[in-house]
Amino acid sequence: MNTTELRSKTPAELKQELMELLKAHFSLRMQHATQQLSDSSQLGKVRRDIARVRTVLTEKAKQA
């Protein structure tokens, strides 16, 4: 997911995307805690995606 894709979305779509990413992050954390996560780099990728979405949401809020 890159920022150009995110900037083309509406704030409502971004909030929905953020909720999905937060759920995915929670799921990955639980898998990591129970030793079921095979690729731990997914945690960092999801965290960066969450940060990207939050950044674009903040930018859009400042524009309005």
26 touches 58 (CB < 8 A):
no
Amino acid 64: pLDDT: 82
Amino acid 1: pLDDT: 81
Domain enclosing residue 21, as ranges: 3-63
**What total of structural domains would you count in the chain?**
1
Which has the higher per-residue pLDDT, 26 or 2?
A: 26
The CATH number of residue 11's host domain is 1.10.287.310
Across the range 10-33, mean pLDDT stands at 97
Q: What is the DSSP string of the chain?
A: --HHHHHTS-HHHHHHHHHHHHHHHHHHHHHHHTT--S-THHHHHHHHHHHHHHHHHHHHHHH-
With cut-offs at 50, 70 and 90, classify the pLDDT of residue 17: very high
pTM: 0.93
